[in-house]
DNA sequence: AATAATCTGTTGCATTTGCAACAACCTTTT
DNA sequence: AAAAGGTTGTTGCAAATGCAACAGATTATT
């Protein structure tokens, strides 16, 4: 979630001068893109918030990833799967940079300053994404809800100390940890009862 | 897991001529690296197999990731966490490329052919890694063992058709899907009984 | 300010899962 | 060939989790 560079600032006052790269605006609720075919599509979220939503065979709506400023996403990162449908939905007004990964490689050999900047920003954006993904995998591979919660709180406490505000709501936290919301709520209550944590909405204090 | 480029071939007959990049050999069972401090360490597994193992507070040994030829790993991709210890262990003879991410950036501006090749290989290695991680997250975020199994089988069937051999053993599959081995075995039996799949050891046929 | 929509905590219940133990099988080593 | 070490499938049982339903709180909309 932490990004050290700020590509968005760079782009905000910058109009793409290259036909291969698009900057598009989306209103809340709009579909930014879907993952259906292999187009090597690569996107950077310049501003706003968006969810990657999977609709499974039962029609269940499952939030698979959450994107914010500087997040990267796109078909290129996904194995396309006929059994479920992936949609990136804007949760607020969004500004998005879209391009094909093939194009970026070609174009970067030219001296377009826009691409130049994009290319130098790439590695950090990508490494940051991998860090996020590995953290999440580490959490998701824990067997119990309690371990998931404590593991996640521990990560946050490294950054913010014993008291911190969750970066999302309780409902979204349950999604992030891939557990049932009400069950997680139950487990939170137990953690409170056992004096492991204090909780006020999405503000958490660790008591250990 | 699928990589289109082959950096290992390139490196096999190549001795690093740059002091910042090391190629090291490890015997089966040896520790390749640990994730303890933030050194921006970045590794590429040239040949062999290795596991990223987490030892949690109970001393449980949990395989978090599995690496094979062309896999990338390193501290740089992990939020270091005081509560558990991460160790990369060689499961067979391994040849590993190690360097600091900072160095690679500096050095790449020079015209060292080794770095040049490394740099051009980077994006694909990284994208391939992200694809693997997102696939796994998609599976891990499913609530039931059955959904995890069927989701994983579905991914494999896209590549290999209705009959395929799992890339790892049943025990390792349970690790990959973060479920108890015996419970998973139970669920596999049910799937067999219900004629969803045929299974012979780690060879699976989908019957739907 | 009133209303609607969403979020949160709680609880009962059925199901699933993890855990432990064990036997059969397979692989590797001696 | 025998022994040792690891893998796999099975099962009983206890514990954890998902699901559903609901009420109160909070936030957004009109």
pLDDT string in tens for chain B (208-residue length): 444 556 665 555 455 556 677 888 888 888 999 988 777 888 999 888 898 988 776 666 778 888 988 899 999 888 877 667 788 989 888 889 888 877 766 655 556 667 777 777 778 888 889 999 999 999 999 999 999 999 999 999 988 999 999 988 999 999 999 999 999 999 999 999 999 999 877 889 999 8
Q: Which residues pair with A204 in a beta bridge?
A: A164, A199
**pLDDT digits over B27-62, tens only?**
888 899 998 877 788 899 988 889 898 877 666 677
Of B62, B81, B129, the CB nearest to A155: B81
The token pair at A188 is 């939170």
- Residue owning tokens 């969803």: B196
In Å, what is the separation between the CA of A182 and the C1' of C2?
Answer: 30
Q: Where do the domains of chain B lie?
A: 7-126, 142-206
Residue B140: list chain A partners with CB under 8 A. 137, 140-141, 178
Could you tell me the fold of the domain covering B7-126? Answer: Jelly Rolls (2.60.120)
Q: Is the dihedral of CA B9, B10, B16, B20 positive or negative?
A: negative
Closest residue in B to A140 (Cα–Cα)? B140
- DSSP string spanning A82-131? TTSEEEEEESS-EEEEEEEHHHHHHHTTS--HHHHHHHHHHHHHHHHHHH
The predicted structure's pLDDT at residue B2: 42
- CATH tag, B142-206: 1.10.10.10
Q: Where are the alpha helices (DSSP H) in B141-198?
A: 145-160, 170-176, 181-193
**A192 close to A204: Cβ distance less than 8 angstroms:** no
**Top-level class of domain A7-134:** mainly beta
Q: How many CA atoms lie within 13 A of B133 on its CB side?
A: 26
pTM above 0.85, yes or no: yes
For the record, the structure tokens of B111 come out as 């015209």
Q: Which of residues 46-85 of B touch A (CB under 8 A)?
A: 54, 62, 64-65, 76-83
- On whether any CB of chain B is under 8 Å from the CB of A142, the answer is yes
Residues of A in contact with B105 (CB under 8 A): 123
pLDDT at B12: 52
Q: How many CB pairs under 8 A join A and B?
A: 99
Q: Evaluate whether B93 touches B25 at the Cβ level (below 8 Å).
A: yes
């Amino acid at each position: 979630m932490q990004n050290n560079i700020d590509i968005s600032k760079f782009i905000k006052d910058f109009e793409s001068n290259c036909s291969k790269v698009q900057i598009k605006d989306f209103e809340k609720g709009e579909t930014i893109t879907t993952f259906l075919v292999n187009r090597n599509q690569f996107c950077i979220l310049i501003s706003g918030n968006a969810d990657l939503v999977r609709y499974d065979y039962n029609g269940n709506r499952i939030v698979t990833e959450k994107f914010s400023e500087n997040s990267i996403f796109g078909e290129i990162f996904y194995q396309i799967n006929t059994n479920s449908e992936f949609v990136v939905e804007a949760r607020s007004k969004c500004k998005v940079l879209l391009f094909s990964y093939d194009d970026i490689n070609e174009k970067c050999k030219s001296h377009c300053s826009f691409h130049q900047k994009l290319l130098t920003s790439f590695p950090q954006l990508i490494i940051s994404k991998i860090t996020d993904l590995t953290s999440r995998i580490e959490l998701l591979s824990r067997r119990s809800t309690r371990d998931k919660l404590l593991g996640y709180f521990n990560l946050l406490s490294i950054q913010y100390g014993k008291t911190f505000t969750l970066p999302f709501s309780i409902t979204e936290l349950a999604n992030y940890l891939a557990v049932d919301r009400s069950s997680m709520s139950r487990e939170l209550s137990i953690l409170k009862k056992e004096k492991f944590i204090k909780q006020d909405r999405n503000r958490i204090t660790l008591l250990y």
